[in-house]
Chain A
Amino acid sequence: MEKSQVGILVVDDEASVRDALYKWFREDGYRVDVAADANEALRKLQEASWDIVLLDIRLPGIDGLELQRRIREIDPSLVIIMITAYASVESAVQALKQGAFDYVTKPIDPDDLEHLIRNAVEQKRLRAENIQLRQKIEELSRADEIIGQTPAMKQVFELVRTVAATDSTVLIRGESGTGKELIARAIHSHSRRRYFPIITVNCGAFPETLLESELFGHERGAFTGAQYRRKGKLELADGGTLFLDEIGDIPAKMQADLLRVIETKQFTRVGGNQIIRSDFRLICATNKDLEKEMREGRFREDLYYRINVFTIYLPPLRERREDIPLLARHFMRRFAAAMNKPITEISPEAMEKLMAYDWPGNVRELENAIERAMVVGRPPVIRPEDLPFQIAQRERPTADELESLEDVERSHIEKILLKTDWNITRAASILKIDRVTLYNKIRKYGLRRPA
């Protein structure tokens, strides 16, 4: 902030004080004006914009404290510094309670005055920067729009709005690729915690020990390779939201630790004994059948009930096909802008193909399909041949079709691979076969990961 852009108004009934401070601030390069009483001050406050007001507590007529109240009504962002002729603690305390930035006693030490103004300007600058950053956050969170017009999605939006205002734990359920993280972000950005971070942990992505240090952090020397102290995600989420994705994949031991943290909001870092408190809102997501996991002893019942307070189900894309054109066009526009490619339409035949497909990978798969079509397609239209899948291959066999055991095995393996996003370890564990066997079967049936 340039000094000449900072406006200071001095309000004091003593001419010598006005003159001296006027000169002081002018010499310092500020824009400055003076007023001898409250009426003159109020008039000048309305005529021009000011950043800092130096205000004598004792003024004839309307006194300084009353004037301070009125100024705050006109412009609450003004930084007000009170001047008192003698150390009147009560009025100074009163002024501070009313929101004054600071107060000084006459005569003022030049050095104090210098610091006071520097701090006031800094305060003003930080406030302005804060407003700017908040606007930026709001713009960014608006950019992540969730698209959907079907009744099922409208209900989801309604639930997001309802639960965002509360601090309640939320469980988001839905197949892979339905946009669970987007919903978590929407809840966060509509909550009172939105100016604090949302911290995401993908619980399925770490081996047990790494997940522990990821969540709880660790002290220096806690284990081989722990050269520095590291804050965990629980600590980083303080004030904000902790989003635990794939909560169903969390190992049994960690489930107990996590439950304790959720209940007490306290924990220690790995290898440490200092108790750390963190105030976070918890959002979990899973594509697993948690009830089944619980029945089969892989998921703790107490943790299940602790996280299953408010549930939002995200319907798979095939259950809200009416949203496909909307989503497809949205992705088309986004990629067209990003790739700078003038594709502006999806041909009716291509759209028909998109509508007929089952989308086992849901919105994510649709997004990838459109991205690929944008790469291979010729402007200005996306055509059916630009789309990377064959409808016939993916359509589910109806019950009365006669199929061999091999056909059933092939389509079942293919389905599981798609659901796990071709994660061989997870697919093998779901199919209850080892990975080598799964690789052999992939080779045997000539299965290929979609582009």
Chain B
Amino acid sequence: MTGRIYVVPIHRPLTVNLQFLAETIAARFGIPSVVLPLNIDPSRAFDRFRNQFRSTELLAQLLEEAPADAIRILGLTDLDLFVPVLTYVFGEAQLEGKAAIVSCFRLKNELFGIPPDNHLLQTRLLKEAIHELGHTFGLVHCDDPFCVMRVSTYVEEIDYKGDDFCAECRRHLSRRLEKLGGIHLRKASS
């Protein structure tokens, strides 16, 4: 099967190493991943009353701009995202769909009054990116405390879990990938 996971920076260039993120994503899903800047306009997603950005609108733009060979498209941003009913979201994904988005806005140490830590930020962003992409492959939240599909509403919870799937989630994912066209997952490697 040919096709890629596209990793798309949105808004400002991020301080994290996008190349490293793309490589790790490729390893987790067994699909080549590349960084691809696209023309995404955040101002269309801005809500001036909440001073936040509608993640659903950004997902729609990602889908519009996605290259033809995109198996999945993942937006990475530093904007503060929300969906109308919730105060904020770390990210959003189309369950069993094509697009996902993750924000590092609420993953930053600075938000909690502690010194910035770019390495930690990169690890958190990676975990949330794999988590949201997991949803696009039909995975739901997992009770395993170390599984990347474990739900996290605090950054501490993100720090506690790992950046890989537990055996059960990996089995589900493998089945989905095989259906998609013969992608075989390698054993997890960091």
Mark B55-76 against chain A: 1 for CB-CB distance below 8 A, else 0: 0100000000000000000000
Give the shortest distance, in Å, between A175 (CB) and chain B (any CB).
Answer: 60
Mark A1-41 against chain B: 1 for CB-CB distance below 8 A, else 0: 00100000000101011011101101111000000000000
Q: Is the CB of A107 within 8 A of B135?
A: no
Specify which chain A residues have a CB less than 8 angstroms from the CB of B50 in the assembled complex. Answer: 107
B84 at interface, CB cutoff 8 A: yes
Specify which chain A residues have a CB less than 8 angstroms from the CB of B44 in the assembled complex. Answer: none
Q: Is the CB of B153 within 8 A of A107?
A: no
Determine the distance from Cα of A28 to Cα of B87 in the docked complex, in whole angstroms: 18
Give the shortest distance, in Å, between B98 (CB) and chain A (any CB).
Answer: 15
Given contacts A27-B135, A114-B151, contact A109 B85 (CB under 8 A): no
- In the complex, which residue of chain B has the Cβ closest to the Cβ of A23? B95
- In the complex, which residue of chain B has the Cβ closest to the Cβ of A110? B153
Q: Is the CB of B141 within 8 A of A14?
A: no
Give the shortest distance, in Å, between B59 (CB) and chain A (any CB).
Answer: 11
A106 at interface, CB cutoff 8 A: yes
Specify which chain A residues have a CB less than 8 angstroms from the CB of B88 in the assembled complex. Answer: 110
B53 at interface, CB cutoff 8 A: no
B29 at interface, CB cutoff 8 A: no
Give the shortest distance, in Å, between A92 (CB) and chain B (any CB).
Answer: 17
Give the shortest distance, in Å, between B152 (CB) and chain A (any CB).
Answer: 9
Give the shortest distance, in Å, between B127 (CB) and chain A (any CB).
Answer: 15
Interface extent on A, as a size class? Answer: 20 to 34
A51-99 contacts to B (CB < 8 Å): 83
Q: Is the CB of B141 within 8 A of A108?
A: no
Given contacts A28-B140, A29-B140, contact A110 B82 (CB under 8 A): no
Given contacts A26-B140, A27-B135, contact A20 B151 (CB under 8 A): no
Q: Is the CB of A27 within 8 A of B86?
A: no
Given contacts A27-B95, A27-B140, A28-B140, contact A114 B153 (CB under 8 A): yes
A111 at interface, CB cutoff 8 A: yes
Determine the distance from Cα of A3 to Cα of B85 in the docked complex, in whole angstroms: 22
Given contacts A16-B56, A27-B95, contact A110 B140 (CB under 8 A): no
- In the complex, which residue of chain A has the Cβ closest to the Cβ of B139? A27
Specify which chain B residues have a CB less than 8 angstroms from the CB of A27 in the assembled complex. Answer: 93, 95, 135, 140-141, 151
A124-139 contacts to B (CB < 8 Å): none
Number of chain B residues whose Cβ lies closer than 8 Å to a Cβ of chain A: 19
Determine the distance from Cα of A114 to Cα of B83 in the docked complex, in whole angstroms: 16
Q: Is the CB of A110 within 8 A of B84?
A: no
Determine the distance from Cα of A28 to Cα of B151 in the docked complex, in whole angstroms: 8
Q: Is the CB of B151 within 8 A of A14?
A: no
Determine the distance from Cα of A109 to Cα of B86 in the docked complex, in whole angstroms: 6
Q: Is the CB of A106 within 8 A of B85?
A: yes
Specify which chain A residues have a CB less than 8 angstroms from the CB of B112 in the assembled complex. Answer: none
Determine the distance from Cα of A107 to Cα of B84 in the docked complex, in whole angstroms: 7
Give the shortest distance, in Å, between B82 (CB) and chain A (any CB).
Answer: 7
Specify which chain B residues have a CB less than 8 angstroms from the CB of A19 in the assembled complex. Answer: 56
Determine the distance from Cα of A28 to Cα of B141 in the docked complex, in whole angstroms: 5
Specify which chain A residues have a CB less than 8 angstroms from the CB of B82 in the assembled complex. Answer: 107
B89 at interface, CB cutoff 8 A: yes
Q: Is the CB of A107 within 8 A of B141?
A: no
Specify which chain A residues have a CB less than 8 angstroms from the CB of B89 in the assembled complex. Answer: 110
Specify which chain B residues have a CB less than 8 angstroms from the CB of A21 in the assembled complex. Answer: 85
A113 at interface, CB cutoff 8 A: yes
- In the complex, which residue of chain A has the Cβ closest to the Cβ of B89? A110
Q: Is the CB of B84 within 8 A of A20?
A: yes
Q: Is the CB of B86 within 8 A of A113?
A: yes
Specify which chain B residues have a CB less than 8 angstroms from the CB of A3 in the assembled complex. Answer: 140-141
Determine the distance from Cα of A113 to Cα of B87 in the docked complex, in whole angstroms: 11
Determine the distance from Cα of A234 to Cα of B2 in the docked complex, in whole angstroms: 76
Determine the distance from Cα of A111 to Cα of B86 in the docked complex, in whole angstroms: 10
Specify which chain B residues have a CB less than 8 angstroms from the CB of A16 in the assembled complex. Answer: 56, 83-85
Give the shortest distance, in Å, between B45 (CB) and chain A (any CB).
Answer: 13
Specify which chain B residues have a CB less than 8 angstroms from the CB of A20 in the assembled complex. Answer: 56, 83-86
Pick from B56, B86, B95, B135: contact of A110, CB under 8 Å:
B86
Give the shortest distance, in Å, between A344 (CB) and chain B (any CB).
Answer: 53
Q: Is the CB of B86 within 8 A of A108?
A: yes
Determine the distance from Cα of A338 to Cα of B88 in the docked complex, in whole angstroms: 63
Determine the distance from Cα of A14 to Cα of B82 in the docked complex, in whole angstroms: 16
Give the shortest distance, in Å, between A384 (CB) and chain B (any CB).
Answer: 66
Highest count of chain B CB atoms <10 Å: which of A14, A28, A110: A110
Specify which chain A residues have a CB less than 8 angstroms from the CB of B151 in the assembled complex. Answer: 27-28, 114
Q: Is the CB of A111 within 8 A of B154?
A: yes
Specify which chain B residues have a CB less than 8 angstroms from the CB of A23 in the assembled complex. Answer: 92, 95
- In the complex, which residue of chain B has the Cβ closest to the Cβ of A113? B86
Specify which chain A residues have a CB less than 8 angstroms from the CB of B56 in the assembled complex. Answer: 16, 19-20
> Known contacts A24-B86, A29-B141; can you find 9 more A-B pairs with CB under 8 A?
A14-B85, A16-B56, A19-B56, A20-B56, A20-B86, A21-B85, A27-B93, A111-B154, A114-B153
Measuring CB to CB, which residues of chain A are less than 8 angstroms from any residue of chain B? 3, 12, 14, 16-17, 19-21, 23-24, 26-29, 83, 106-111, 113-114
A-B contact pairs, 10 of them (CB 8 A): A3-B141, A17-B85, A19-B56, A20-B83, A20-B86, A27-B93, A109-B86, A109-B87, A110-B86, A110-B153
8 residue pairs, one from A and one from B, having the closest CB atoms: A29-B140, A20-B83, A111-B153, A17-B85, A16-B84, A20-B85, A107-B87, A110-B153
